[in-house]
Chains A and B, each alone.
Chain A
């Protein structure tokens, strides 16, 4: 685990009187790039903790239902509005549904929306950034498009999109899948721009490097060039964007649900649970806390993860 970094045999420097310095022979194999990154990442305590907490939340939300067998939609009207107890550790809601089960079900949706929307935004953003940076002719139009998207008022437009397409998608895919596609699509379509800009900047710099010239001189086609040579080198900013994208998507989804324009009422997400709990704020204030803490903790841990990842992937900072 904590092996000293690449130990070398000290070339018997003082003994050999003349000649070129003998190359020290490394005894340990060369360290891979990702090993360096991991070592740097480990030193950022907040990031490590953030990563662990995020993993725990994801595990709890997806594996929890196997251990906690109460169904999220099971209505037990006689056990309604209960506080925390052994049978219901988080209490029950106004219909007697178990809050813990609902938190897990809600978390599944929220995390799934966050990851899918992030993936969509990432694919879109990386694609636009790669193409704009690599092909000079497309750079102008694509970047103007990015600027145009950045100038759009995103939250109002998201609300409008949800209002407009909800009905159509509900009919096509059913109420739950429809709204899932809608929200993931809407968030993805409105959050790809920062990734595109960062990737484009990196690609522009990479294009001038020697290895790209070398690859071109042996006749590498554009597609191969992007996939083999450019894309692996812009993975670091893309990964950082990915973590920040998850946080952003989770917040946006909960905000939409909170404004009543997200998932349908019987389909829990953390934002929806918070929205429902606000109605009972006076009587049962603790009900607001669970989903709120869940959202905040997830976003906080993901943000810390992103922070550490950015530091670890930045070769200028690494080793300090």
Chain B
């Protein structure tokens, strides 16, 4: 391996575009509505999905979750402490003003300003300084040697580049937008729909192909199914795989892709009897993940370990862990070792969203077979969050958004005192590995570190990883080039067109 990790990302080559690709209006039915529009503040998936088409970040995810250049035409980790971006010079905001290095600097200052309260501030907490070099380069100096770990953050919506002039003129970004993305927000009727229109200044030649995207919000699955069948919408998000039967092939296209987010049982590692790693590990063996996937999502999902199997090269595949093979006999054996031959009783707190309640019901039935009695406490989401935050649970069932970067996924979750370590899990060796992984640049060494980490986490099971559900969209047959990404983004809408 080279001592210096040099990431040189090639400029996107625009594929020759045929005339019929451009034009047209696409109607998409989504279940959830954006909560706020300020790219530096939003946390809701629904906001991200819209805003990544309105704003651009320095980098973005291309196919297969590869980092590719976006507003930066080049990104270079000069050494583990330094990242230099070369900023594109042909970019204009939606209001027609050119984007400059000034705007980039301003955007990161805004993110890092504690008054902004941006979730992205936490990603950049180890940034020492940011400065412009000349009029088209920007340099990040880091306190820790973590340049390569940091790069994925520059592709997030929360790291979008906003217009300095626009913000300083007193505009409220939660309500108004002015980005550089392929579409601009033309109309938003809360509770109803949103219209994105083609950005004539967009810096990628000939993109986007569509003139207009109308996103209609239909929280009920049945209304999305009916609207798509009726031809009222071109694309709809489908959550119940069973409903796919409604869409005959030829008339419709089914788009599915694995996602990074995963279902999990989180365990409070300080409460008896679940404070005993053997007991937690027994639960691992007693759970039949395939059965959960089959019944809850009708086989539209994959078993996942600590890292989603798609996250390569880092992820250890589920079959490399003994625990992921359903083995009730082994579970009973472990329970007996821990002193609970006749099982025990505990409570799972969860909420009625994203199938959590259904997963809980299947797990309850499965654990009953090894003598473990589960009481499901189904609470309203707000109450769930409060109990989650205060570690007020024996165990909970929920979903976490994953990451392609193991450090991002693991550090705050399993480090002693980490901000999302609600399991109150603490293991000195894990802490050591996490710190080491963060500052190690050599890929082979890093892989060894994260391999050991994944083994420890599965063995000690502060979290029982369950599965990742596929995301499913169905479109009418006339929709072309609609692609999905594992981070559930719809960033490829700029390349979508209608026949």
> Are A and B associated in one complex?
no
Chain A contacts to B: CB under 8 angstroms? none
Chain B contacts to A: CB under 8 angstroms? none
